[in-house]
């Protein structure tokens, strides 16, 4: 009786996982098909004007530091930044909200909060855009946070 019960339970789990996987992939494919940015006909190219890496030097703990990455749409379609996320909550990126026309320039800024982060920090900003050959871009900055001793 136990073998029969566990056999049925195992079968149900396998079927449930299979159905779940099909739903996930179908939803993903539908989302890609309905998103015009994922259609390669709307892809453009991007050039990072100064660098995708910045060294911000030393700051005192508690300081908020802004870093800016400049880019140019070097393609012939509008450049759309669909997301910009940071590697941790201490960094808040601000991508452009409007498309960048062909030939025009734009920037992505980020604010780094150094509170509670003494020492050497390397942070990344992950950018997704309608660009070829890749839609993913990684922007990196480093900063050394010096602990401030508070004396009474």
pLDDT score at 149: 76
- Does 16 lie in the same domain as 47? no
CA distance 52 to 48: 7
Mean local confidence (pLDDT), 125-141? 96
CA distance 132 to 27: 24
CA distance 131 to 45: 5
Instruction: Tokens for 92, please give them.
Output: 């808040």
Q: How many domains does the chain have?
A: 2
Residue 151 maps to a domain: no
> In which domain, by residue range, is 83 found?
40-146
Distances (CA, A) of 61 to 86, 94, 148: 20, 22, 6
- Does 30 lie in the same domain as 47? no
Q: pLDDT per residue over 69-91, tens digit each?
A: 999 999 999 999 999 999 999 99
- Does 81 lie in the same domain as 20? no
Q: How many CB atoms within 10 Å of residue 135?
A: 16
- Does 30 lie in the same domain as 44? no
Helix (H, G, I), strand (E, B) or coil at 58: strand
In the chain, where do the E strands start and end? 46-48, 53-60, 64-73, 81-86, 91-94, 105-113, 119-129, 136-146
Q: pLDDT per residue over 55-64, tens digit each?
A: 999 999 999 9
- Does 50 lie in the same domain as 23? no
> Residue ranges of the alpha helices (H) in the chain?
2-34
> pTM of this prediction?
0.73
Q: pLDDT per residue over 10-51, tens digit each?
A: 444 444 443 333 333 333 333 344 455 567 788 999 999 999
- Does 21 lie in the same domain as 50? no
CATH of the domain at 49: 2.60.40.10
Question: Is pLDDT above 60 for 1?
Answer: no
């Amino acid at each position: 009786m136990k073998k029969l019960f566990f056999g049925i339970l195992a079968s149900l789990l396998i079927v449930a996982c299979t159905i779940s996987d099909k739903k996930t992939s179908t939803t993903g494919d539908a989302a890609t098909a309905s998103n015009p940015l994922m259609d390669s006909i709307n892809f453009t190219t991007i050039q990072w004007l100064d660098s995708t890496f910045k060294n911000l030097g030393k700051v005192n703990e508690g300081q908020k530091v802004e870093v800016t990455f400049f880019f140019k749409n070097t393609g012939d379609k509008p450049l759309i930044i669909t997301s910009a996320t940071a590697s941790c909550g201490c960094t808040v990126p601000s991508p452009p909200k409007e498309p960048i026309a062909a030939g025009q320039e734009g920037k992505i800024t980020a604010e780094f909060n150094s509170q509670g982060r003494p020492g050497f920090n390397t942070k990344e900003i992950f950018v997704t855009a309608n660009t070829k050959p890749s839609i993913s871009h990684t922007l990196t900055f480093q900063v050394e946070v010096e602990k401030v001793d508070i004396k009474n």
